[in-house]
Amino acid sequence: MAGIFENRADAGRRLGEAVRRSLGDSDAPRETVVLGLPRGGVPVARLVADIIGAPLDVLAVRKLGGPRHPEFAVGAIAEGGVRLVDDDAVRHTHLPASDLERVEAAARVDLARLLSLYRGGRPARAIAGRRAIIVDDGVATGATAIVACRAARLLGAGEIVLAVPVAPLGWERKLADEADAFVVVSTPRDLWAVGRWYVDFAQTSDDEVIAALDR
């Protein structure tokens, strides 16, 4: 069944409650930072952070999508120079190496722009030795999530929790070496496009991301 979440706000509230239950009585607010993946993951992360009482920051990651199917990730890059290309996904989309190079170059330019725009010159929240809860609006191929987890490790996170409203059944196996724990609301068997699981999956604007981070 498609459209199980009304929008990202609905997904964020439901995911936030799931994260709160998962953490139980741990010292979440003091030892945890919630990291939203732009753009769509940030409004979801805002609600998760509010529900558990933890600070929010952005973790800049850009998906590498094929020109014909931009929502389908063939890889991803993140702040700190982390890079992942899924060779199976590249073959599946018949993406030439020259096109992949152009997609990656454009993504790197956008990554630098997002860091400047979203943080506005302020330093990133320190996550060294702390629990980092990485939040996106969903996982399909897992490439973006893997790169985000590796970036958080590079920044010194002591524990990584990957939390999303929707992910494919069995997704934890693919990401077992990347995150320490997983929180998910729905795990359909057939998930090739995250947007199918939302009634309203309108693109999140930069202004909406900034507003969520500034609250």
Instruction: Report helix angle 41-52 to 8-23, nearest 10.
Output: 40
Tell me the C-alpha distance between 136 and 158, whole Å. 20
Q: What is the pLDDT of residue 122?
A: 85
Note the pTM of the prediction, 2 decimals: 0.86
Averaged pLDDT score across all residues of the chain: 89
Tokens of 79: 């702040």
Under a CB-based contact definition with an 8 Å cutoff, are residues 4 and 166 in contact?
yes
The domain limits of the chain are: 8-214
Cα maximum dimension of the chain: 51
8-214 folds as Rossmann fold (3.40.50)
Q: What is the pLDDT of residue 182?
A: 96
Q: How far is CA 103 from CA 74, 82, 136, in A?
A: 10, 16, 21
Backbone angles phi, psi at 54, to 5 degrees: -115, 155
In the block, which residue shows the tokens 């996982």? 139
Q: What is the pLDDT of residue 7?
A: 97
Q: Helices (DSSP H) in the chain: which residue ranges?
A: 8-23, 28-31, 41-52, 87-93, 97-119, 143-154, 171-174, 206-214
> Could you tell me whether strands 32-36 and 131-135 are parallel, antiparallel, or unpaired per DSSP bridges?
parallel
Q: What is the pLDDT of residue 191?
A: 73
Residues lower than pLDDT 50 in the chain = 1
Q: What is the pLDDT of residue 67?
A: 66
Q: How far is CA 81 from CA 93, 126, 141, 143, in A?
A: 25, 18, 21, 15
- Give the dihedral of Cα atoms 134, 137, 118, 122; nearest 10 deg: -20
Q: What is the pLDDT of residue 76?
A: 85
